[in-house]
Chain A
Amino acid sequence: MRLLIFSMLSLILMILDHRFHTTDAIRSTLSIVVDPVRYMVNLPTDIKEWASSSLVSHSTLEDQNQTLKTQNQLLKAKLQKYASLKAENANLRGLLKSAKKYEDKLEQVLIAEILSVDLDPFRRKVVINKGSSHNVYIGQPIIGSQGVMGKIIHVGPLSSTALIITDANHSIPIQVNRNNLRAIAIGIPKNNRLEVIHQPNNVDIKVDDLLVTSGLGCVFPYGYPVGRVIDITTNLSLPFARIIVQPTAQLDKNREVLLVWPNFGGNKQSDCRGPEEES
């Protein structure tokens, strides 16, 4: 009898969750109970990291300092070029009377740490240690140092869950960097890759093309690298080419990710909401 009642209860919950997405309050309340367990699991790694950062020798620190200085020099040199390019770009756009203004304001970012990965072997998800108390919102993009990693799907008070771009339920609007061809890439969780879908067999995409976010759909900001094409199979008996993409972000090696608060060219995010996107 009780089994029946509880089964009905879970059925109702599942329908509410899957069809109407109205259970976020329950989820974030319950995650208060679960979060301490997550932090406890993470404790040994935290201690190890703390120890290794506070107990390093003087010479290691010096070495590290030297490397960082060199790196900083290099990055600064690159940035100079970037500044002149930016000015040139603005000039040219002005000449063309282009409507699109270059956004000078950089996106706001916050570093988050991955608490746990891949709880479910069939999916690609990570839990990070920032939540609604840090203004994280559902649909927020996260990026790694090398490229886009995914977006937030559940937010708790102290932690949130992100769907990685190689999850089967994740799709990301992209464009080819070489010729601005727009497309959608969906995830292949099995070997951590993506596939560009619905492109005809004669599409102008080559192996080694860089794909970047197109900014359409108003989830991911424009211009972040997503991946490189590694394989194109054209089978004339099939309607579409099979285009496999290797993500540039090191999806299973990063421990730290960046949360991004994008600005969509001055538009509010609510202004450019397209058709309901898949989450």
Chain B
Amino acid sequence: MAISQRQGGFIILLSFVGAFMLSIIDLPIWAEEIRPQWVVLVLIYWSMALPQRVSVGFGWMIGLLLDVTNSTILGQNALALALVAFLTSHLHLRLRVFPFWQQAIVVFVFVIIYNLIVLWIRGISGSAPNIWLIITPSFTSAIFWPLVFIFLRRIRRIYRVN
């Protein structure tokens, strides 16, 4: 990825590694069902803060890696994350001035969109899951959004990622 000429590409990658680790760690079944979608949250943050760097293509690559990690059909997360990155980088100016709770609502909608796309593709490919299980992760993702936002903004300022 040709991001080395700008500062802090390493930090961005590191944050995604962290998000992947959080989404792989074993949890009990009940916690599995409400696990926030960390990768989506981190992607939303970066494409909101640095839309010129992290956008559709980046989201697509991350989605492809997520497909390999989850051993789902190659391209399903890629498509969904590319769309989320597109929406976020399109609305980034508006999103930046929102207060936290309003951002959280938008994040909720984005994660729902992401989950819906994944759900549709799974439905088409023959393993449609329980529809309620897409609502709860979206909800917890929105709840965790302020934390993710504050944490990543901190990191972005400390390491001057731009």
Contacts and interface: CB of A to CB of B under 8 A. Distances in A.
Interface in A6-21: 6-7, 9-14, 16-18
Contacts, number: 106
A117 B57 contact: no
Interface stretch (A30-38, A56-64, A138-146, A172-180): A30-38
B56 A18 contact: no
Interface string B22-39: 011110010011010000
Contacts of A118: 32
A168 B26 CA distance: 21
Interface stretch (B41-49, B77-85, B93-101, B148-156): B77-85
A55 interface: no
Contacts of A31: 68
Given A11-B79, A23-B74, A161-B71, A2 B17 contact: no
A2 B90 CA distance: 12
B141 to A, nearest CB: 14
B130 interface: yes
B21 A40 contact: yes
A151 interface: no
A10 B133 CA distance: 24
Chain A interface SS verdict (over half): helix
B85 to A, nearest CB: 9
Chain B interface SS verdict (over half): helix
A119 B68 CA distance: 11
B57 to A, nearest CB: 6
Contact of A34 (B35, B68, B79, B122): B68
A11 B60 CA distance: 12
B70 interface: yes
Given A2-B57, A3-B56, A10-B75, A41 B69 contact: no
B80 to A, nearest CB: 9
A127 B29 CA distance: 17
Nearest to A121: B32
A169 interface: yes
Given A11-B79, A37-B17, A120 B65 contact: no
Given A3-B56, A6-B78, A123-B127, A18 B20 contact: no
A119 B27 CA distance: 10
Interface string B57-72: 1001001110011111
Taking residues whose C-beta sits less than 8 angstroms from the other chain, chain A's interface range is 35 or more
B130 A119 contact: no
A121 B76 contact: no
Contacts of A13: 64, 74-75, 78
Interface in A102-119: 116-119
A153 interface: yes
B125 A119 contact: no
B83 A37 contact: no
Contacts of B72: 120
A104 B128 CA distance: 44
Nearest to A169: B127
A47 to B, nearest CB: 15
Given A38-B24, A121-B32, A122-B127, A30 B75 contact: no
Given A3-B83, A9-B60, A119-B24, 13 more contacts: A6-B56, A11-B79, A14-B73, A14-B125, A16-B74, A18-B125, A33-B65, A37-B21, A116-B24, A119-B23, A122-B122, A122-B129, A168-B127
Interface of B: 17, 20-21, 23-26, 29, 32-33, 35, 55-57, 60, 63-65, 68-76, 78-79, 82-83, 86, 121-122, 125-127, 129-130, 133
